[in-house]
Structure 1
């Protein structure tokens, strides 16, 4: 585990807000030189604190107005491998995340759809036909707030 100081935390907050910032700009914002900001970024990358950079796509702007969280309980745990379920679920473009969880359900899926009828189509034709899929519980996302900054 890497020790983080206040400058590292501030750097992470800045990068989380805008991962496209150049190290020179990061340095200016934090009162560091460009080389000092670059060294800190390199250290965070090498330590695995920064695990890549992602582009955030506005799903609604692309016509995907509904997000649903599905709890999926496998019907036949012994007969179907977890890898097989995960591989098949990964092949469904509307499935954004697949989380293997402990609790009432075996998996939690984040699914996007254009509208509720589109979601119903995805559920019936794709999700319910996944290997081992059993009970499913759907929770429609009403709103989402992101917490600022890193953990």
Structure 2
């Protein structure tokens, strides 16, 4: 990891890989009708809109107006879902909003700030900010304080 990466205008790639594990297994398992990476779930419906349509295979060119345009041909529909979840969450948490970042990612993802996402992809924004799912509200930064608790003997 890269401690304090955002303050250095750098992106920590380990965050992406860890989030894929959490979202692909944890969230999809806890809320399959919402976060499973299958056609017809809430996240897949939002993905299809973000890509300008439902594509089983990566299109040669995405439709005009698409804001998620990942073009890795080895990334199938399931993979595209996983990448989209990562972009949405980290944009809401302001992990993609630092100097020079938009230029680095614009060919793949155009809604790199919370504000852009709220305006440009309201379905995903509403889903990821819905408190019933208890999703993260702060980007991991490596600065944590342990919660104090007291251990008592069992009677």
Provide the TM-score with structure 2 as the length reference. 0.24
Q: Which has the higher strand share?
A: 1
Q: Which has the higher helix share?
A: 2
Provide the TM-score with structure 1 as the length reference. 0.25
Question: In terms of Rg, which structure is larger?
Answer: 1
